[in-house]
């Protein structure tokens, strides 16, 4: 299976010789041809420069790789036209079975397509937080030599307000507990929701997100290294802030963060914990099931890679 990261690289190679003059009809015809598997028809839209970078069989492989990973396209939105330098750009949201992405097409003055790529859908501020002012402060959660960028969101007119620390689930997550390819930002939504209700929040990039190559300790990493130690550092940091009520520090843990919350509470002594979608079974039962699910989504994964 072609990895999406590779797909972005391949499709990124197509961006060249940007120009003007096309219509949303051209963009829609290309998208429909790709969705229907008419790759030859879609390929005819490419200009000479793009054809020098990619051959027609590769175009089908790119699209099939995307749909294999994210499912078939369920719907396509309206294309919007914009200018970027000497390029005419059309973009439209595509809803795959498992994710939503923007399809971005660039055309030249020759009337031909010079490139396409996929980008994440834009994050939408939830209705309850629109047109409301919040205070924010960029700070750093530090554990030993690990420094994790963090942000405090404060309600308007916060004077010694309570604060909630948001602790991630498993895997490499940023402070929003979102994905680069997803418009969903669960922790940012929660931070805004707390602020609307007069509660501050502190969220931070996870250690495994900031330090992407933990080979030096991956074999010995425990739940303390992945989650608990940094959550305790965040509690200490929250209790040092002079603009919040340091007697009312809470921890909200999601998934693995919820699983670890009792241990975090025992060591960090917050006022209380909130457990969101925490597992009720031991990790040695859950983790093999999760890996089996992931393995079954990749039919080309070898036994060596599985190990």
Q: Do 287 and 147 fall into the same domain?
A: yes
Cα separation, 138 vs 274, in Å, equals: 24
- Report yes or no: 113 and 50 within 8 Å, Cβ to Cβ: yes
Nearest to 273 by CA among 284, 286, 262: 262
Token code pair at residue 150: 């963090």
pLDDT at 277: 92
- Check pLDDT > 70 for residue 18: no
Nearest to 98 by CA among 154, 181, 42, 22: 181
Report residue 206's pLDDT band, with 50, 70 and 90 as the boundaries.
very high
**Which of the listed residues 97, 120, 143 is the one where a domain comes to its end?**
120
Cα separation, 49 vs 106, in Å, equals: 13
Residues 140-197 pLDDT 10s:
999 999 999 999 999 998 989 999 999 999 888 999 998 777 788 999 999 999 999 9
**Which of the listed residues 120, 155, 187 is the one where a domain comes to its end?**
120
- Check pLDDT > 50 for residue 72: yes
- Decide which of 244 and 287 is more confident: 244
Half-sphere exposure of 151 (CA within 13 A, CB side): 16
Q: Do 71 and 99 fall into the same domain?
A: yes
Cα separation, 41 vs 30, in Å, equals: 8
Q: Do 266 and 177 fall into the same domain?
A: yes
**Overall size of the chain counted in residues:** 307
Nearest to 69 by CA among 106, 27, 118: 118
Report residue 86's pLDDT band, with 50, 70 and 90 as the boundaries.
confident
Report residue 10's pLDDT band, with 50, 70 and 90 as the boundaries.
very low
Q: Is 3 exposed, middle or buried (0-12, 13-18, 19+ CB in 10 A)?
A: exposed
- Check pLDDT > 60 for residue 200: yes
Find residue 83's DSSP bridge partners: 88
pLDDT at 300: 60
> What is the tally of structural domains in the chain?
2
Cα separation, 239 vs 274, in Å, equals: 18
Report if residue 302 sits inside a domain: no
Largest CA distance in the chain: 67
Q: Do 171 and 237 fall into the same domain?
A: yes
Angle between helices 229-238 and 256-268 (to 10 degrees): 60
Over residues 91-110, the mean pLDDT reads 89
Over residues 76-86, the mean pLDDT reads 87
């Amino acid at each position: 299976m072609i990895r999406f990261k590779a797909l972005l690289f391949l499709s990124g190679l197509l961006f060249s010789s940007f120009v003007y003059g096309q219509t949303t009809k051209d963009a829609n015809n290309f998208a429909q041809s790709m969705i229907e598997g008419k790759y030859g028809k879609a390929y005819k839209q490419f200009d000479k420069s793009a054809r020098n970078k990619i051959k027609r069989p590769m175009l089908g492989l790119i699209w099939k790789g995307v749909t294999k990973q994210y499912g078939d396209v369920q719907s396509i939105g309206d294309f919007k036209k914009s200018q970027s330098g000497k390029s005419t750009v059309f973009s439209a949201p595509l809803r795959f079975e498992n994710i939503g992405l923007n399809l971005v097409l660039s055309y030249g003055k020759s009337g031909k397509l010079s490139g396409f790529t996929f980008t994440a859908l834009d994050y939408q501020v939830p209705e309850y937080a629109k047109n409301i002012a919040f205070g924010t402060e960029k700070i750093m959660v530090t554990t030993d030599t690990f420094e994790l960028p963090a942000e405090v969101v404060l309600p308007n007119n916060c004077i010694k307000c309570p604060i909630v620390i948001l602790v991630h689930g498993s895997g490499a997550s940023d402070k929003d507990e979102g994905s680069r390819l997803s418009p969903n930002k669960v922790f940012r939504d929660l931070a805004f929701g707390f602020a609307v209700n007069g509660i501050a929040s502190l969220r931070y990039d996870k250690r495994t997100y900031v330090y992407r190559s933990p080979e030096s300790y991956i074999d010995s990493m425990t739940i303390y290294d992945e989650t608990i130690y940094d959550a305790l550092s965040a509690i200490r940091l929250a209790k040092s802030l002079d603009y919040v009520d340091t007697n009312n520090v809470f921890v909200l843990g999601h998934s693995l963060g919820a699983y670890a919350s009792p241990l975090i509470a025992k060591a960090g002594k917050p006022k209380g914990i909130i457990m969101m979608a925490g597992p009720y079974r031991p990790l040695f039962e859950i983790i093999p099931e999760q890996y089996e699910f992931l393995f079954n989504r990749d039919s080309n994964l070898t036994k060596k890679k599985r190990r």
